[in-house]
Amino acid sequence: MDSKLFVQGIAKFLSGLLLIGGLIFIPAGTLGFWQGWLLIGILFIPMFIGGLIMMKKSPDLLRKRLNVKEEQDEQKTVIILSGLMFLAAFILAGLNFRFGWIVLPVWVPYTAAAVFLAGYALYAEVLRENAYLSRTVEVQEDQKVIDTGLYGIVRHPMYMTTFLLFLSMPLVLGSVFSFVIMLLYIPIIAKRIQNEEQVLENGLDGYTEYKKRIKYKVIPFIW
């Protein structure tokens, strides 16, 4: 096992846990925000297990997923906007619980949690299908076009899974206000995809032909 990668992975995991926990529970004013614990559980338990599996079976892929340093200026803007969106959504969810602005039925967070876990399963499948996936927009050495599995349905199945994950998160937290905020993810990710496809067309052999074969970007028959 790569000890440096292990330390890096654990550090990112713990920092993410503390950050999101703080953003959820501090505005809520209590650790009794049960929807917050529900989100923490479905988000971080699979993340921890998946990270250990990747560390053993695909350390190079894990290394790519831990790298968040973008070279593209447009993508740096996308990351900043996404960060602000998450910040507002988590804080609003905590405040909504504290002040009881809109209280959703109990079944809503649980149903949203099921959708979130389904999105996580699709996320794992995308990682299995595409060993070139990284969190930055780039063309890697010896990279090839992947056009099978989910990539034979939409060109960006990873973003398809993030729609399920990100739009279900605020409902797991029981916050309509946070859900409205998270809808900003649609134009944000549209901007990211536009730039990403330009990079891939310019640097990845066969991507232009792949675009012609696979019509939909993210959602089959819709987008």
In a domain, 219, yes or no: no
Question: pLDDT (tens digit, 9 = 90+) per residue, 180-205?
Answer: 999 999 999 998 898 889 888 888 88
Provide the pLDDT for residue 17: 96
Domain CATH code at residue 93: 1.20.120.1630
| pTM: predicted TM-score of the whole model, two decimal places | 0.90
In a domain, 220, yes or no: no
28 confidence band (pLDDT: 50, 70, 90)? very high
Mean pLDDT of 163-172: 96
In a domain, 15, yes or no: yes
Residue 90, Cβ density class (10 Å: 0-12 exposed, 13-18 middle, ≥19 buried): buried
Question: pLDDT (tens digit, 9 = 90+) per residue, 129-160?
Answer: 887 776 566 666 678 888 889 999 999 999 99
In a domain, 66, yes or no: yes
Closest CA to 119 of 87, 150, 83: 150
Provide the pLDDT for residue 72: 59
Q: How far is Cα 99 from Cα 129, in angstroms, rounded to an integer?
A: 44
Residues 174, 40: contact at Cβ < 8 Å?
no
First to last CA, the chain: 41
Question: pLDDT (tens digit, 9 = 90+) per residue, 42-51?
Answer: 999 999 998 8
Q: How far is Cα 152 from Cα 45, in angstroms, rounded to an integer?
A: 30
Q: For residue 27, what are the domain limits?
A: 3-213
Structural domain tally of the chain? 1
Question: pLDDT (tens digit, 9 = 90+) per residue, 56-108?
Answer: 888 877 777 776 665 556 667 888 889 999 999 999 999 999 999 999 999 99
Provide the pLDDT for residue 134: 63
In a domain, 196, yes or no: yes
In a domain, 200, yes or no: yes
- Asked whether residue 171 carries a pLDDT value surpassing 60, the answer given is yes
Provide the pLDDT for residue 59: 82
Provide the pLDDT for residue 69: 61
In a domain, 17, yes or no: yes
In a domain, 223, yes or no: no
